[in-house]
Amino acid sequence: MAYWQEPVCCTGVVWLTQRGNLKGRGSQQGLEPQHLTGTLILSVFTAVLGFFQYGYSLGVINAPQRASTAYQIPFKTGLCPQGPSTLTLYWSLSVSIFAIGGMISSFTVGWVGDKVKAMLAVNVLSIIGNLLMGLAKFGPSHILIIAGRAITGLYCGLSSGLVPMYVGEISPTALRGALGTLHQLAIVTGILLSQVLGLDFLLGNDDMWPLLLGLSGAAALLQFFLLLLCPESPRYLYIKLGKVEEAKKSLKRLRGDCDPTKEITEMEKEKQEAASEKRVSIRKLFSSSSYRQPVIVALMVQISQQFSGINAVSLSSERIDTNCITVGLIKPNILNEFLQVFLVEKTGRRSLFIAGLIGMLASAVAMTVGLVLLGTFAWMSYMSMVAIFLFVIFFEVGPGPIPWFIVAELFSQGPRPAAIAIAGFCNWTCNFIIGMCFQYIADLCGPYVFTIFAVLLLGFILFAHFKVPETKGKSFEEISAAFRRKRRSAIKGHKAATELEDLRGSEEA
């Protein structure tokens, strides 16, 4: 099961302005009602339809253990080879091939300029992929499904980078953090719809499974036509193309009657700063000591998201109550996403991230106890169910959404595209590993599978506590200074330890 995948992609134009300019800006602009215009709402809604498709694609394929539903029908009929081991292999491939598409496309998104045209173009991939899965019953089903998943993965890898770029670039500064979390709400909504429609009495049966697999193509068509009504990013028009008048027109459409002078001034400053800072290559990002710590943090938040154990939820749901978990799990999740929209700018990123990991660790321990004792005490199913609900809710508090935007906040204009490209690639790679290996791990460990994730979560908590900085309200200079202080203290500690060892050696001599 590859439940949540959060690749992060951005561009040199960036959706996040230089954070040195953000301090105090929320109070200057305020959350004025005129900022939330009809055009802005339409544009954000249209963009996050890409994440809805992504969530649907994750949820619709996430129950390979349910032999009673249609999820395994394509692999038990037609031309698919028989046998439990072959079935597991093909199913794991159908899950993980989705991530391979994302891995390939994650390196290209950071350098895409025209967001609206790019989102229009990549919808073609979604339509083709969903058509292949929708027509799977009329050919070699396993081949068509795997091919369709691969093409859909390409789409999701591109879309999951384009959408946060576009939403961030069109959003007012005061609303940027809140609107930037709506992608997770779209993912959860897509997962919910796919899981509900996948119930046996709806589309999860022998007759309707092709429609179930290919239904997100309808969202791609809807997004395609709605994008024709959306304005291009004013930041892209001004900073990259130098089209001042078109940028002003785009701002007026997005902001209503607001005076665009302040934002134009900010764009001009950002343009000058971007011009003064050279773009950093991926190779330099890894070779330069000044980028080493933020790169490690950027990669670790992606790894912690994928290896946190969220993908083990399906195993637990199979052992308790599939239908209850399927629908009940997502309902508090959606409510939690609405809460997250307001929390992200009120509470620090680091605090939410660590709090989410701690909550997941406690829930993982409770789930392990509940699953192990399920055969002895029937009421343990309720304990496990509550623990699963809490596990997913805590995931949505921090480890789910925060890796999306914290990577962009760790780097300035020059290194940001390369940093976000490798972070996205890391996330997709972890997603592929989980999708390919999790079924085998679940079969091997059984109810103890959450023990593995509990140990990993403890490691992620310790790493976040000691290494992940708080980025809320801080400039890049302040964040860089914090990394430099940690590097200097680590060097001093190493030198002190070396000197102490030398001193002890000389005393012994």
Among 195, 207, 197, CA closest to 77: 207
Distance CA 484, CA 479 (A): 9
Taking residues 14-43, what's their average pLDDT?
Answer: 52
CA atoms within 13 A on the CB side of 424: 35
Task: Give, in degrees to the nearest 5, the angle at Cα 180 between 174 and 186.
Answer: 140
Residues of the chain with pLDDT > 70, as a percent, come to: 72
The whole-number pLDDT of residue 459 equals 95
Instruction: Name which of 90-99, 279-288, 494-503 the model is least confident about.
Output: 494-503
pLDDT tens digits for 432-466?
A: 888 777 777 877 888 888 899 999 999 999 999 98
Q: Looking at the predicted structure, is the pLDDT value of residue 64 above 50?
A: no
* 219 has pLDDT over 60: yes
Q: Which of 28-42, 85-99, 311-325 has the highest mean pLDDT?
A: 85-99
| Distance (Å, whole) CA 437 – CA 199 | 26
Most confident of 9-13, 315-319, 440-444: 440-444
More confidently predicted of 308 and 344? 308
Q: Please state, in angstroms and as integers, the Cα–Cα distance from residue 133 to each residue in 244, 435, 438, following that order.
A: 44, 19, 23
Q: Per-residue pLDDT for 304 more than 90?
A: yes
What average pLDDT does the chain have? 75
Band of the pLDDT at 33, cuts 50, 70, 90? very low
Residue 301 reports pLDDT greater than 60: yes
Q: Comparing C-alpha atoms, which of 179, 169, 141 is closest to residue 36?
A: 179
Q: Which of 144-148, 159-163, 326-330, 380-384 has the highest mean pLDDT?
A: 144-148
Instruction: Give how far Cα 116 sits from Cα of 43, 165, 241, Å.
Output: 10, 11, 15
Check whether 119 has a pLDDT greater than 90.
Answer: no
**DSSP string covering 326-339, please?**
HHHHHHHHHHHHHH
Q: How far apart are CA 13 and CA 317, in angstroms?
A: 43
**With 50 as the cut, is the pLDDT of residue 28 above it?**
no
Which range is most confident: 296-305, 312-321, 400-409? Answer: 296-305
Closest CA to 316 of 398, 383, 226: 383
* Average of per-residue pLDDT across 469-491: 69
Please give the pLDDT value at position 31: 41
Mean pLDDT calculated for residue range 362-367:
91
Per mean pLDDT, which range of 248-252, 323-327, 385-389 is the poorest?
Answer: 323-327
Query: CB-side exposure of 363: number of CA atoms within 13 Å?
Result: 23
Q: What is the mean pLDDT of residues 218-224?
A: 92
What confidence tens digit (pLDDT) does each residue in 462-479 have?
999 988 888 776 666 677
